[in-house]
Amino acid sequence: MLTLEKFEEASEVVKRVTQETKLVYSKYFSDQTGNRIYLKPENMQITGAYKIRGAYYSISVLPEEDQKKGLITASAGNHAQGVAYAAKELGVKAVVVMPVTTPLMKVNRTKSYGAEVILHGEVYDEACEYAYQLAEEKGYTFIHPFDDLAVATGQGTIAMEIVKELPLVDYILVPVGGGGLATGVSTLAKMLNPNIKVIGVEPAGANCLQASLEAGEVVTLPDINTIADGTAVKRPGEKIFPYLQKNLDGIITIQDDELIVAFLDMVENHKMIVENSGLLTVAALKHMNAKNKKIVAILSGGNMDVITMSSVVQFGLIQRDRIFTVSVLLPDTPGELVRVSTVVAKLQGNVIKLDHNQFVSTNRSKAVELKITMETFGTEHKNQIVQALEENGFKPRVIRTSL
């Protein structure tokens, strides 16, 4: 059972390994939404995510004989680091099975804490199945990343901190993969104040909890597709599902494109790196049907590798029309390129790439194609440049940007 006494115990235990993550008031998101928005920056934990809480508490309460057998778990990254770090602190052997698609940074960090890492399977569920197999063969003690009441109790300590700091909080937004964090937070929040509404936020491409709640039982999605690798789970936990049914007040699903925009928002307005799964709650702020409420968005982690970060930034700039590409047709005669450049320069467009195709037409003197990729200040600025090109007779056509 998840009890208040256990949550209180866990809150003291996890202090041994956690950083203090005080709420950050967001003027930017508050102004955008008409609510008072606070961020709970669990991306600032020593392992880069909240998972250290559940991992450390669950291992610390294991019987000594189970600890000595050695631990094994499966994870897409953050729970892996949590178990590895907790095992190191407690002097216990740890083996971690991770999907082969896990970002390199998460793999390397897990190894750096002393754990043995095995890469297996395309998604978490396949890695988990293999970890269970190894646990049976080698006699290891399995630490489930979410379907474990001790793990959920450790994760729920976040709610204790939120309510202590913001007693009159109205909503708490929680990212959902398998449901461990949502279980702990929603259960404790309701114990402390039944009026607090807790909303789970899932990627639309991995909405296993939403599907299960609608079905009234745990279901397995046939496949998943999302850039939020930390919440890419086909099936929520069975042990914790009754708690989610009872205590969650709703589910919001988020498209991947929304996470890209949320990443830029966090970098530009809060100077924070938050991984895609942690951005679910940020993206969900725009979906809230509420005004003048105190809302806490839990930023569950910040473990994003540089390659993914680069890709997200590029797509985000394109999505916001900060980078766009326009195709124009012009005669293949001296001075035409200068004329186009002058129009763009007068409106302060910054050209970053040119592609000159002389073979778009058999009559080169009539028309060649020039593709211009440029930086702008946003959609309004982009439209001004396109209009100016039209007025100068270039017949511009906005096309897909390829960087």
Q: Which of 11, 26, 40, 51 is catalytic?
A: 51
Residues of the chain with pLDDT > 90: what percent? Answer: 81
Whole-number Å distance between alpha carbons of 284 and 279: 9
Domain harbouring 204, CATH code:
3.40.50.1100
> What span, in angstroms and rounded, lies between the C-alpha atoms of 269 and 37?
13
Residue 309 is predicted with a pLDDT of 87
Q: In this structure, are 231 and 90 located in the same domain?
A: no
Residue 50 has pLDDT above 80, yes or no: yes
Q: 285, 316, 347 — which closes off a domain?
A: 316
According to the model, what pLDDT value does residue 366 have?
A: 66
Winning range, highest mean pLDDT, from 101-105, 285-289, 318-322:
285-289
Last residue of a domain, one of 316, 351, 371: 316
Strand bridging mode 250-254 / 197-203 = parallel
pLDDT at 11: 97
pLDDT of residue 364: 58
Catalytic residue, candidates 11, 60, 186, 300: 300
* Coil, helix or strand at residue 170: coil
pLDDT tens-place string over residues 150-174: 999 999 999 999 999 999 999 999 9
Same domain, 135 and 265: no
Amino acid at 169: V
Query: How many domains is the chain partitioned into structurally?
Result: 3
* Same domain flag for 248 and 351: no
- Cβ–Cβ contacts within 10 Å for residue 268, how many? 10
pLDDT at residue 242 is higher than 80: yes
Query: Which residue bears the tokens 């086909």?
Result: 234
Q: What is the pLDDT of residue 305?
A: 82
- pLDDT at position 203: 97
Relative orientation angle of helices 149-165 and 180-192, to the nearest 10 degrees: 50
**pLDDT at residue 360, as a whole number:** 63
On whether both 363 and 298 belong to a single domain, the answer is: no
pLDDT at 362 over 60: no
- Does residue 322 surpass a pLDDT of 70? yes
Give the residue from 397, 398, 382, 393 showing the smallest Cα distance to 350. Answer: 382
| Residue 352 token pair | 């970053």
Same domain, 83 and 21: no
Residue 51 is among the residues annotated as catalytic for this protein: yes
The maximal CA–CA distance of the chain, rounded, in angstroms, is: 84
- Which pLDDT value is given to residue 359? 67
* Whether residue 76 is found in the same domain as residue 210: no
- Answer left, alpha or beta for residue 95, where phi above 0 means left and psi between -120 and 50 means alpha: beta
**Which residue among 316, 335, 367 closes a domain?**
316
394 pLDDT exceeds 70? yes
Domain that holds residue 74: 53-142
Confidence of residue 393 (pLDDT cuts 50, 70, 90): confident
Who has greater pLDDT, 299 or 230?
A: 299
104-136 per-position pLDDT tens digit: 878 898 999 999 999 999 888 899 999 999 999
The answer to whether 59 touches 86, Cβ cutoff 8 Å, is yes
From CA 147, how far away is CA 208, in angstroms rounded? Answer: 14
Q: What are phi and psi of 299, to 5 degrees?
A: -90, 100
Residue identified by tokens 């302060």 is: 348
Could you tell me which residues are beta bridge partners of residue 397?
Answer: 327
What single DSSP character describes residue 49?
B
**What's the whole-model pTM score?**
0.88
Which pLDDT value is given to residue 263? 96
* Mean pLDDT within 203-228: 96
Mean pLDDT over each residue of the chain, to the nearest integer: 93
